[in-house]
Amino acid sequence: MSDPVVIRGGTVAEASWCAPADVFVADGRVTALAEPGTPAPRGTAEIDAGGMLVLPGGVDPHCHVGFTSGDFTSLDDYAQCTTAAVFGGTTTIVDFAIPRPGQAPADAAHAQRAKAAGGLCDSALHACVVDWDETVPDQLRSLVADGMPTVKMFTTYRGETMADEDTILRTMSTLRDLGGMVVIHCEANHIIEDTQTRCSHDGRIGAEHMAATRPELAETASVAEVLAIAESLKAPVYFVHQSTPEAVELVAAARRRGLAAYTESVAHHLVLDDGLYAGAAPERFVCCPPLRPRPVVDGLARHLATGEITTIGSDHCCYDVAQKESRRSDVRAMPNGLPGVETRLPVIFSEFVAGGGLPVSRFVELTAANPARMNGLYPRKGTLMPGADADIAIWDPSARWTITSGDLHMATDYTPYEGMTVTGRPRTVLVGGRVVVHDGVLADATPRGRHLAANPITSAPARR
C-alpha cells in the first residue's frame, strides 16, 4: 500500500492527448486526473511537477535479462536490469524465457517467471518455441492461461533458437486459437550463413564487417516468408527489431490487407548507423540485425511519424567490453546485442521529440501505451487513466546531459551512446505510487517486482 500522493503542476501526456492536469495516486494506483489546483484530501503528499511532463512509465517490450546464447550470458539479473530501467523512466519490462537446448518452453518460462520478485518494477514474459513436438500445444495452452500469450520465435541462430517454417506455422496457428501471438526475429538464416561463409573466405568476418555479414535482404526475405504464413492462417504476428523501411513497409502493406501485423523498432536501429563498425571499437555495436547505413536509418525513423511503427523497444542485452572483445575477430562467435534499457527513452525523446518534432503523445504511444497493448498489459500499464498502476515518469523535457557509461546503472562498462549529448530525462520516477528515483538518486531499492499475467492479445486491441 502506498501513501496518497498528488503530482501537481505538470503536463500529463497520454498516447492520445496532452494537457495540464494534477495526478492523484493512492494504494499504488492512479485515482484521478484532475484540474490543476484541485484540493487534495488531508494527508496527501505533494510532488511539484512544474515545468515537467508527467508520463506513464515506459514499457519496454523487448528486454533480455541474464540471457544465455552460445558461450555467453548477459550480465544482469532482475534487480540490476530494473534498477537501470527505472533510472531511464521505464517501469515495466517484458523479458524472454528462452529455453536452453532440450528444455521445454513451459519449464523455461516458469524458471524465468520466478525471478520477477527481484525487480524494482513489474515485468512480463515472452515464452519461446524452438522445436515442435506433440507436447507443445498443451504447453502453449498453459502458457496463455498463465499470462504468457506472446511467444518469441527466430528464423536465425541455427542450433540455438532457430525454428523451421513448420514449427512457426504450427505455433502461430495454435496461438491464434488461444488468443496468443508469435513475436518473431526475422533474418533468413540460409542467406546469412552463405554470406558469412563468403565473407570469411575473403577475411571479412571480424566485427568491423558486421553489417556486410547480415544483409538487409536476409531480413526482407524472412519477413515476407513469415507474413505469408501469417496471412494464410489469418494469425496475428509481431515483428521484433525491424531495422529497414522495406521490412516495415511489408508489414504495413499486410496490415492494410487486413492482417493483424505489427512492427517493433529498437532505439539503436533508429539512431545509430553502420559507420560505427569502421570506428575504433566495432565489437561494441555488434547486434542482430546489424546497424544499417544512414539512409536506411533515416528511412526507418521516418516511419515513426507515418504511424507504421507500432512500438519502440530496447532489445537490451547487457554484455560488457571484455565479452564483446573476446570474439571480435569472428562475428559468428560473438555475443550479439547492446545494452539499452536505461537509454531507450532519453535517446528517443532527444532525437525525435526534442530534436525532431515528434509529438510527445506519439512518443508515449510508441514507448508505453502500444507496448502495453501489444503485450496484454493495457490499461494496467502504459496509461495514467484512473485505475492504472501508478508507474509514472516525471520528465524534464529540457534537461541537457551527456550520456556516459559511468553515470548509468546497467550491469556493463560501456554504452553505445557514449559521449552523446541529449535533451530530456526523467527527474522523478514512481513505481506503484512510491518514488524510486529522484534527481538521479535511488530513493527506494526495495524489490517489489511482480510477474504480470498478461491478458490474451485478442482482448487488448492495439490502435495500429
Give residues in contact with ligand URP (CB under 6 A): 64, 185, 287-288, 315, 317, 336-337
What is the three-class DSSP state of 34?
A: strand
Give 4's DSSP letter: P
Decide which of ligand URP, Zn ion, none touches 336; Cβ closer than 5 to 8 Å per partner kind.
Answer: ligand URP
427 in contact with Zn ion (CB under 5 A)? no
Number of residues that bind Zn ion (CB under 5 A): 2
126 in contact with Zn ion (CB under 5 A)? no
396 in contact with Zn ion (CB under 5 A)? no
316 in contact with Zn ion (CB under 5 A)? no
From residue 159 to residue 188, what is the string marking binding to Zn ion with x (rule CB under 5 A)? Answer: --------------------------x---
List the one residue out of 167, 88, 133, 147 whose CA is nearest residue 427: 88
Cβ nearer to ligand URP, comparing 292 with 362: 292
Rounded Cα gap, residues 178 and 139, in angstroms: 11
CB 60 within 8 A of CB 94: yes
Distances in Å between the Cα of 195 and the Cα atoms of 187, 190, 293, 333 are 12, 8, 18, 15
Shortest approach of ligand URP to residue 319 CB, angstroms? 9
Decide which of ligand URP, Zn ion, none touches 207; Cβ closer than 5 to 8 Å per partner kind.
Answer: none
Distances in Å between the Cα of 455 and the Cα atoms of 106, 143, 320 are 17, 11, 35
Cβ nearer to ligand URP, comparing 208 with 396: 208
- Show the 3-state SS of 411-460: CCCCCCCCCCEEEEEEEEEEECCEEEEECCEECCCCCCCCECCCCCHHHC
315 in contact with Zn ion (CB under 5 A)? yes
Residue 316: other Cβ atoms inside 10 A: 30
Shortest approach of Zn ion to residue 360 CB, angstroms? 27
Shortest approach of ligand URP to residue 178 CB, angstroms? 24
Residue tagged 570469411 (cell numbers): 200
Rounded Cα gap, residues 58 and 369, in angstroms: 8
Decide which of Zn ion, ligand URP, none touches 382; Cβ closer than 5 to 8 Å per partner kind.
Answer: none
Shortest approach of ligand URP to residue 269 CB, angstroms? 10
Contact range with Zn ion by CB under 5 A, out of 29-37, 270-278, 309-317, 414-422: 309-317
209 in contact with Zn ion (CB under 5 A)? no
Cβ nearer to ligand URP, comparing 242 with 336: 336
Decide which of Zn ion, ligand URP, none touches 273; Cβ closer than 5 to 8 Å per partner kind.
Answer: none
Rounded Cα gap, residues 24 and 21, in angstroms: 10
The residue number with the shortest CB distance to Zn ion is 185
CB 292 within 8 A of CB 269: yes
Cβ nearer to ligand URP, comparing 62 with 113: 62
Shortest approach of Zn ion to residue 240 CB, angstroms? 6
95 in contact with Zn ion (CB under 5 A)? no
What is the three-class DSSP state of 254?
A: helix
Shortest approach of ligand URP to residue 288 CB, angstroms? 4
**Residue 374: which residues within 8 A CB-CB, separation 6 or more?**
61, 150, 181, 238, 262, 310, 311, 457, 460, 462
Cβ nearer to Zn ion, comparing 157 with 277: 157
Cβ nearer to ligand URP, comparing 6 with 338: 338
214 in contact with Zn ion (CB under 5 A)? no
Shortest approach of ligand URP to residue 425 CB, angstroms? 25
Cβ nearer to ligand URP, comparing 155 with 171: 155
Angle between helix 165-178 and helix 216-233 axes, rounded to 10 deg: 50
Cβ nearer to ligand URP, comparing 235 with 287: 287
**Residue 9: which residues within 8 A CB-CB, separation 6 or more?**
20, 22, 36, 48, 49, 50, 51, 52
Contact range with Zn ion by CB under 5 A, out of 104-112, 198-206, 307-315, 428-436: 307-315
CB 410 within 8 A of CB 339: yes
Give me the phi and psi of 280, to 5 degrees please.
-75, -25
Cβ nearer to ligand URP, comparing 336 with 415: 336
Shortest approach of Zn ion to residue 316 CB, angstroms? 8
Decide which of ligand URP, Zn ion, none touches 287; Cβ closer than 5 to 8 Å per partner kind.
Answer: ligand URP
Cβ nearer to ligand URP, comparing 7 with 288: 288
344 in contact with Zn ion (CB under 5 A)? no
Residue 373: other Cβ atoms inside 10 A: 27
Count the helices and strands in the chain (H runs, E runs).
14, 21
Cβ nearer to ligand URP, comparing 315 with 396: 315
Residue 145: other Cβ atoms inside 10 A: 13
Rounded Cα gap, residues 136 and 108, in angstroms: 13
Q: List interacting residues with Zn ion (CB under 5 A).
A: 185, 315
